[in-house]
């Protein structure tokens, strides 16, 4: 079984590496948009999820079952038929980091919504990892799964000028807009990691490798990650998940 969690700064190339790794290993790839699509297809209420006659492709169905288990446990805990107030679970799972960096209103409802997002994400990520054979992109997967010694955790960074160039191409922004986008995303990602994990998204102790894609190519980073994942799977390796014993290396940085 292979599970790889990749976390990267905006514009560092993490989605590209994740897709290459998943394709070469012939395993599934999950990012926030796929999680949102899974939740949208199965519905955001326990009642809709209970409809076992709705069949979807095997991978989608497997992830839908993870969402279903999470929602069922929430309902059993006494949160009601629809355990999420306001937006449905598909919106919770789809929230990008850059929607999380503003101070929440000082209210118990806002705090509850933030807690729902963190708990929902962690629950689904753990269930997906348990199913195995998957690359999980972002969502704090490396931090959520850090105690799992059978999960390969990969971080990705790059210099600002290279990140700006990549975002300008991918998101079709001018240079200043790309800089603003990245700065916004960095603040949001950092705030989320601080609140959810009391950590940082660029803490090297979260990862086995931290690639600097300004100094190594996306293809090289992907290939070494593939080799490491194959070695872990073939030899049944258990790599340390504790901060003080992690062999994390800032490769290429």
DSSP 30-64: E-HHHHHHHHHHH-SSHHHHT-TT----HHHHHHH
Please state the domain count of the chain.
2
The pair of three-digit structure tokens given for residue 24, joined into one six-digit string: 């070469």
- Do 82 and 104 lie in one domain? The reply is yes
Distance CA 70, CA 78 (A): 13
Sheet with 134-137, edge to edge strand ranges: 28-30, 134-137, 3-8, 151-157, 209-212
Indicate whether 34 belongs to any domain.
no
Q: Which domain holds residue 66?
A: 40-131
**Digit-coded pLDDT (tens) for 165-217:** 999 998 888 999 999 989 988 988 898 899 889 999 999 999 999 999 999 99
Alpha carbons 172 and 166: distance in angstroms, whole number: 10
Predicted local confidence at residue 236, as pLDDT: 74
Residue 33 belongs to a domain? no
Last residue of a domain, one of 131, 150, 172: 131
Please check whether residues 11 and 73 belong to one and the same domain.
no
| 0.85 surpassed by pTM | no
Percent pLDDT > 90 in the chain is 42
b/e burial code for range 152-185 (CB count within 10 A of at least 16 → b): bbbbbbbeeebbbebbbeeeebeeeebbebbebb
On whether the CB atoms of residues 154 and 4 are closer than 8 A, the answer is yes
**In this structure, what CATH number is given to the domain that contains residue 222?**
3.40.50.300
Q: Which pLDDT belongs to residue 253?
A: 45
């Amino acid at each position: 079984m292979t599970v790889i969690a990749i976390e990267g700064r905006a514009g560092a190339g993490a989605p590209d590496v994740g897709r290459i790794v998943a394709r070469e290993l012939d395993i599934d790839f999950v990012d926030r948009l796929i999680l949102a699509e899974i939740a949208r297809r199965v519905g955001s209420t326990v009642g809709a999820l209970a409809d076992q006659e709705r069949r979807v492709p095997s991978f989608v169905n497997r992830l839908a079952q993870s969402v279903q288990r999470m929602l069922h446990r929430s309902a059993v805990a006494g949160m009601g038929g629809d355990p999420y107030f306001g937006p449905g679970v598909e919106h919770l799972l789809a929230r990008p980091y850059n929607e999380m960096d503003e101070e929440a209103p000082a209210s118990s409802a806002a705090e509850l919504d933030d807690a729902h997002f963190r708990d929902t994400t962690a629950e689904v990520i753990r269930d997906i990892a348990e199913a195995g054979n998957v690359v999980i992109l972002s969502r704090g997967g490396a931090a959520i799964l850090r105690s799992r010694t059978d999960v390969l955790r990969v971080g990705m960074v790059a210099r600002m000028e290279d990140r700006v160039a990549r975002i300008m191409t991918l998101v079709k922004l001018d240079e200043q807009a790309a800089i603003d986008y990245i700065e916004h995303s960095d603040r949001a990602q950092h705030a989320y990691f601080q609140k959810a994990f009391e950590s940082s998204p660029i803490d090297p102790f979260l990862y086995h490798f931290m690639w600097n894609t300004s100094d190594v190519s996306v293809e090289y980073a992907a290939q070494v990650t593939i080799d490491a994942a194959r070695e872990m799977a073939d030899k049944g390796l258990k790599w340390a998940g504790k901060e003080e014993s992690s062999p994390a290396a800032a490769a290429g940085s």
